[in-house]
Amino acid sequence: MNVFTFTGRIGNDAEVRQAGSSTVCGFSVAVESGYGDKKKTNWIKCSLWGKRAEGGLPQYLVKGAQVAVSGEASLEEWEGNNGKGSNIAVNVNDITLVGSKQDGGQQGQAPQQQAPSHGGKSASDYDDGSIPF
């Protein structure tokens, strides 16, 4: 089983488009790792397909929104005029908006929103006092 789970901030507003007979919502997420001089940012290309891409969720996937994403990852490689390149792409199975207005979220943004999935708790199910770290 290939499951990749990460948290980061959306780089640009999500774009919804038609891909044949399906609808796809595309967006990129900046994921930071390391600290100090060794801190770096990796960009993950995300695709949300079908009914979830057609629903109301894409309106909340805006630049700067903090999200937790889980899905199937793949490595995309290409060769172009500027040489070779690669990136990580994820077909999203589950996404949760984890930021809030206090975190710099946009006015009118839902503080918590979860795409339909297999269930489980979201960040809104916990209060800060119950987190052990």
Contacts of 109 (CB under 8 A, 6+ apart): 60, 62, 65, 97, 99, 101
- Each residue's pLDDT tens digit, 11-37: 999 999 998 899 999 999 999 999 999
**Most confidently predicted of 3-12, 103-112, 122-131:** 3-12
- Would you state the structure tokens that stand for residue 55, as one six-digit string? 């629903």
In CATH terms, the fold of domain 4-130 is OB fold (Dihydrolipoamide Acetyltransferase, E2P) (2.40.50)
pTM for this prediction = 0.71
Range of weakest confidence among 28-37, 45-54, 76-85, 106-115: 106-115
Percent of the chain with pLDDT over 90: 59
β-strands 113-114, 15-19: how paired? unpaired
Q: Which amino acid is at 70?
A: S
Q: What is the pLDDT of residue 1?
A: 77
Q: What DSSP designation does 69 have?
A: E
Q: What is the pLDDT of residue 110?
A: 45
